[in-house]
């Protein structure tokens, strides 16, 4: 296995439901290089309860890039890569939800949950 073919992805979200969205996303390679690390401006407000859990507030994301810009960057930094995602079903679901909320076509990503290795 070539280490260069893998990257790690993690997200922070507004909540756990199908209408919730990503508000922070990070992608790093297996050498620890940060490929993407950004807050994301959601189309809805972050509830106070969620902010109390992850510490990300509406004020913090007010001037953050849109999901459209971040999703484009995500696609660019993951071309030809397999995404290692520990909570893959949740994170991919949130990527899909955020695409839907922003009227962006979701394109499949190659993923692997390291817990199943």
CA atoms within 13 A on the CB side of 15: 11
CA angle at 27 for the pair 72 and 73, rounded to the nearest 5°? 10
Domain ranges of the chain: 3-116
Look-up of token digits 């296995």: 1
Q: Which architecture does CATH list for 3-116?
A: 2-Layer Sandwich (3.30)
- 26 pLDDT higher than 90: yes
Q: Over the stretch 41-61, which tens digit does the pLDDT of each residue have?
A: 999 999 999 999 999 999 999
Let me know the angle formed at the C-alpha of 105 by 4 and 30, rounded to the nearest 5 degrees: 15
Q: Is 21 in contact with 97 (CB distance < 8 Å)? A: yes
Q: How far is CA 59 from CA 38, 62, 64, 77, 87, in A?
A: 15, 5, 10, 27, 27
Task: Give the model confidence (pLDDT) of 90-100 as tens digits.
Answer: 999 999 999 99
Angle between helices 88-101 and 67-77 (to 10 degrees): 130
Determine if the pTM surpasses 0.85: yes
Identify any residues that bridge with 83 across adjacent strands, giving them in sequence order.
7, 111
Confidence class for position 64, pLDDT limits 50, 70, 90? very high
């Amino acid at each position: 296995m070539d280490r260069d073919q893998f990257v790690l992805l993690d997200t922070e979200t507004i909540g756990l439901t199908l209408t919730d969205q990503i508000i922070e996303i990070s992608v790093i390679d297996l050498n620890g290089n940060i490929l993407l690390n950004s807050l994301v401006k959601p189309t809805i407000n972050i509830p106070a309860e969620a902010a109390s859990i992850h510490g990300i507030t509406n004020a913090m994301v007010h001037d953050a890039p849109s999901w459209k810009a971040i999703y484009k960057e995500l696609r660019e930094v993951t071309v030809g890569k397999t995404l290692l995602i520990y909570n893959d079903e949740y994170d991919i679901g949130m990527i899909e939800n955020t695409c839907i909320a922003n009227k962006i076509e979701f394109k499949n990503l190659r993923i692997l949950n390291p817990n199943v290795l």
